Amino acid sequence: MSPLDDSYDLAVAAASLRASSGDLHALLRSLSELLADALGDRLHVERAGGLFRKSDKIASVRVTLSGDQFDAVMEGTTVRCSVGHFSGGIKIRSESMAMEDWLVRLLQELQKEAAHNAAAQNALENIVIGGH
């Protein structure tokens, strides 16, 4: 089964990704590493830490795919997730959601991207099949 098949439940992949990471920082770090090559400058990762010292912990992740902007921002031990929709460079709407729903939506957009981008397909396969 290819990760591009509609028969594969992306919710299962999102739950697996979430379960395989010990904490939210690890989840965002793992996700960022898996998406870095496929998305290039459409992935923005902000590290925690001060002006002169950066931490390996993730403060926020922003992914831009298909006119949508996926934001995950660490707030203490929780994460605030949202998806904003843009048209012509202007944000039309933004929707807050649970981490699991955010991951599913992100994977759905990555699946669309994978149909014409080998790097995105490889990233999706690593998330869905393993390698995270």
Is the separation of the CB atoms in 61 and 71 below 8 Å? yes
**Residue 1: what pLDDT?**
36
> Residue 59 is encoded by which pair of tokens?
């403060």
Strand order in the sheet with 54-65: 43-49, 54-65, 68-75, 78-87, 90-97
CA 42, 106, 37, 47 torsion-angle sign: positive
**Residue 13: what pLDDT?**
65
Residue by residue, pLDDT tens for the chain (132 residues) are 344 455 356 666 666 666 655 678 888 888 898 889 889 999 999 988 766 766 778 899 999 998 899 999 999 888 999 999 988 888 899 999 999 899 989 988 988 888 888 888 888 787 776 644
- Which residue carries 């995105």 as its tokens? 120
Is the separation of the CB atoms in 27 and 21 below 8 Å? yes
| Domain layout of the chain by residue ranges | 10-128
